[in-house]
A = this chain, B = another copy of it.
C-alpha cells in the first residue's frame, strides 16, 4: 500500500497540523501515514478522500499481495 497524501496536502496548501484538524486526528497520525509507517483506518481514509473530494483509490494505492 502506498499513498500520495503529501501531494494532496500540498495541492491544498495545508500544513500537517491543519489537515490533522480537518480530519480529526493528531499531527502524528498524518505524519505516520505520509511516511507510510502504517495505514489509516477505513474511516480516516474516507475522511481524507471526502475532504480532498476524490476517491479513496485516488489517494491510496493498493498493491495486491505484499505477502502470500
A47 to B42, CA, bound (A): 12
- A residues contacting the other copy or chain, number (CB 8 A): 19
Instruction: Contacts A24-B68, A42-B41 given; indicate if A57 touches B55 (C-beta within 8 A).
Output: yes
Residue interface bits A27-66, CB-to-B below 8 A is 1, else 0: 0000000000001111101110010000111001010100
Beta-carbon contact of A64 and B41 below 8 Å: no
- Chain B residues within an 8 Å CB radius of A41: 39, 41-42
Contact residues in B for A1 (Cβ distance below 8 Å): 42-43, 46
Closest partner residue, chain B, to A1 (CB atom): B43
Please tell me if the beta carbons of A43 and B62 are within 8 angstroms of each other in the complex.
Answer: yes
* Interface core residue of A39, A42, A43, A64 (most chain B CB under 10 Å): A42
